[in-house]
Structure 1
Amino acid sequence: MKKSKWMLGAAAMLALSVALAGCGGGDKKADNKAAGVKGSLMVYTSIYPDIIDNMCKPNVAKAFPDMKVNWFQGGTEKVITKITGEIKAKKIAADVLMVADPSYYLKLQEQGLLLPYKSKEDANVISEKDKDGNWYGVRISNMIIAYNSNKLKAEEAPKNWTDLTDPKWKGKIAMPNPMLSGTAYVAVGALADKYGWEYFDKLKANGLRVEEGNSAIQNKLLTGEYAAVMILEENILKLANTKKEPLKIVYPTDGVINVPSPIAIFKETKNPEGAKALVDWWLSKEGQEAVVKGWMHSVRGDVKAPTGAEETKKIVEGRIKVDWQKLANNNAQIKEEFRKRVMDK
């Protein structure tokens, strides 16, 4: 299969999904299989620490009572840096990988570092996946625009990505650092392809600030330092629903940047059966309901979107198209272009 076509067909499959089911319950078949799995696993992930502690660890421990699952957490680029060092040392410590940037999995696949595994949940996954099971989309994150409704009225807020270049937002806009954030890197690549690098020249001229990550941005949006920001949807959903903060989401009319973050098994895993069982669990209805409780979208058609979010199918159908192979092949060049245009003084 030509890897540059790995994303084709996802929107069509999502468009066919109907009868979305609510959260609750579980996959008894997955539970029974997991009960006999033993040994230990190391998972490298970019999922937020609080989601790991409050959602991942307890749910996985319950599903795998006889297997010890350890977690290494960091931003996508931090995890990739760690893996790069381990690959050079020919000693990969991770068994399972769950980071945000889908293009990175293409590089790992090209290097022959992933273990092909056709999950038992394969037929239920309507999002992106490799035909041989080298990786599966396991959680869908979306880069959107957000604003503080205590500071702005809905009609005043930006409606699309190009609105952020309007002089009325000068010095009041921000985005995460693509050198550190996988989803921000995807956003940069997608917007540069859609509008040209001149788009970022305009954002720079309009006083765009680049923060270390999404959490720093959400905090400054709350204080009013920023009026409108590029940020992960899940950050805003969590604050708006759990803490009742006055933050609102704008799904840009020119397309959400949709990031179907994958899960994959490293070929060097010392516990292939445990790793396969973990992949099956994450892709099961039970595992995907846990994903949604972490404010991300499911890759299945029978699990609803997170509370307060736009319907997954609608987001995916109107998303900005991303050239994943280009992001995989030109990582350093894209980051350098962004740094030169936006981050240099």
Structure 2
Amino acid sequence: MKKSNSTLKKWMRGVFASSLALTVAACSGGGQSEQTKPADNSGNQPAPSGGDAKPAEPEGDQKIIVYTARDKNIFEIVLPKFKEKYPNIEVETLEMGAQQILERVRAEKANPQADFWWGGTQSALSTAADEGLLEAYKPTFADKIPDLYKDPQDRWYGEMLLPEVIMYNSEALKPEEAPQDWDELVDPKFKDKIVIRNVLQSGTMRTIYSAMIYRQGPDTPEKGYEWLKKLDANTKEYTQDPTNLYLKLDRQEGVISLWNLQDVLIQSKQNNHPYDFIYPKSGAPILVDGVGLVKGAKNAEAAKKFYEFLFSPEIAAQLAKERYQFPSRTDISKDDLPDFMKNLDLKPLELDWSVMAQKEKEWMQHWDENIKGKGKK
């Protein structure tokens, strides 16, 4: 259901302006192995039917299998701390893209091999929930996650938020010289100053472009197509991957792009690229990266422990500081967050994500066949 912009704006501002703070294309990684063996079934608790009770303490040595779309630089923070708290629970991860996780969990429905799904868009997780692939579980922190970022039947919860923003080379442009909102991107003064990651291959870019169509009116995509034609006219190049995008921006072969905020911060603060961002005045598409328990998991009780630990304020605050993650929990103390998060108002664009999911393929195919590279003609 579409949320009113005023309600969301009020919630977002309250999170960052008060003592509470908010910390979601899916990320992908290289698989650790070709096949994950099923977890040992001896001594495991039976799969739960849901509910909000505190998870039972697993007895004896346990192993949980985690299918994840998160990056190793997240594991190196989370997994050692979890092992420290729960030395009898081993966590085995198998890395793949969120879409691959959906396909694998779907294929294993009759005999689940995974216990926990870590890292997926609201679209992928909602699809899995609708197909009966995720177990209902109401965690202890359920009331700390806004309704917009969790499943109403408790089958998945958003762990972090991924706002999509305007990125620019801070050595080439002053903040006031960069586009301040989406419509400024199509101003002729920015002609040949924009470089874009190849849209069809990027969940981030597909989301941004679909949002640009939606905001012009989802029932009349022609208006959105016209807007994208103007953006194409200002776009100097579409790069094959993020590495080439960064190279072009570093060389100032283009000085403006569109990207997710977390990665902009990682590239600038950790990797020393000369990047900064503008949070669009009218709001930004905000993706959710979430988690869920696999239905029929063989190690469900141990997986619940991991679930609760992953969302703990301690871990959420550390990932915010060290990995620039925006946590979905609204009860993280402002004092525990990095400075750039404390006063940033994550104003969302008013979008109907179900409509976006239904129309994305059609819209992006039209863009690819009729708009890409044709704006300058």
Shorter-normalised TM range: 0.7 to 0.9
1:118 match: secondary structure: coil
Return the alpha-carbon distance in structure 1 between the equivalents of residues 75 and 239 of structure 2.
24
Change (3 A) 1:309 1:208: farther
Note the C-alpha offset of 1:121.
1.4
Provide the residue aligned with 1:298 in structure 2.
Answer: 327
Provide the residue aligned with 2:80 in structure 1.
Answer: 58
Return the alpha-carbon distance in structure 2 between the equivalents of residues 46 and 286 of structure 1.
22
Provide the residue aligned with 1:71 in structure 2.
Answer: 93
Note the C-alpha offset of 1:157.
1.1
Provide the residue aligned with 1:267 in structure 2.
Answer: 295
Return the alpha-carbon distance in structure 1 between the equivalents of residues 61 and 326 of structure 2.
29
Provide the residue aligned with 2:309 in structure 1.
Answer: 281
Bigger drift between 195-204 and 114-123 goes to 195-204
Q: Does 1:45 align with 2:68?
A: yes
Return the alpha-carbon distance in structure 1 between the equivalents of residues 170 and 2 of structure 2.
40
Return the alpha-carbon distance in structure 1 between the equivalents of residues 123 and 78 of structure 2.
24
Q: Does 1:323 align with 2:352?
A: yes
Report Cα offsets for 1:156-205 as digits up to 9, x if no partner. 11111122223333333233445443333322222110132322222222
Amino acid at match of 1:237: L
Q: Does 1:248 align with 2:269?
A: no
Confirm or deny: 8 A CA contact 1:101 1:183 kept in the other structure. Answer: no
Provide the residue aligned with 2:106 in structure 1.
Answer: 87
Q: Does 1:314 align with 2:337?
A: no
Provide the residue aligned with 1:20 in structure 2.
Answer: 20
Bigger drift between 278-287 and 166-175 goes to 166-175
1:152 match: secondary structure: coil
Higher Rg: 2
Provide the residue aligned with 2:365 in structure 1.
Answer: 336
Return the alpha-carbon distance in structure 1 between the equivalents of residues 168 and 271 of structure 2.
16
Aligned pairs for 1:151-166 within 5 A: 151-166=172-187
Which consecutive unaligned segments of at least 5 residues does structure 2 have? 24-54, 217-223
1:309 match: secondary structure: helix
Return the alpha-carbon distance in structure 2 between the equivalents of residues 100 and 199 of structure 1.
30
Provide the residue aligned with 1:110 in structure 2.
Answer: 130
Change (3 A) 1:234 1:33: farther
Aligned pairs for 1:203-218 within 5 A: 203-207=231-235, 209-218=237-246
Note the C-alpha offset of 1:281.
1.4
Confirm or deny: 8 A CA contact 2:162 2:289 kept in the other structure. Answer: yes
- Equivalent residues, number: 328
Confirm or deny: 8 A CA contact 2:120 2:291 kept in the other structure. Answer: no
Provide the residue aligned with 2:44 in structure 1.
Answer: none
* TM-score computed with the length of structure 2 as normaliser: 0.74
Indicate the structure with greater helix content. Answer: 1
Provide the residue aligned with 1:29 in structure 2.
Answer: none
Report runs of 4+ in structure 1 exceeding 6 Å deviation: 6-9, 32-37
Change (3 A) 1:34 1:201: farther
Return the alpha-carbon distance in structure 2 between the equivalents of residues 265 and 219 of structure 1.
39
Amino acid at match of 1:81: Q
Confirm or deny: 8 A CA contact 1:59 1:290 kept in the other structure. Answer: no
Note the C-alpha offset of 1:300.
1.8
Provide the residue aligned with 2:37 in structure 1.
Answer: none
Confirm or deny: 8 A CA contact 2:2 2:351 kept in the other structure. Answer: no
Provide the residue aligned with 1:28 in structure 2.
Answer: none
Identity of aligned residues (%): 23
Confirm or deny: 8 A CA contact 1:40 1:68 kept in the other structure. Answer: yes
* TM-score computed with the length of structure 1 as normaliser: 0.81
Bigger drift between 107-116 and 124-133 goes to 124-133
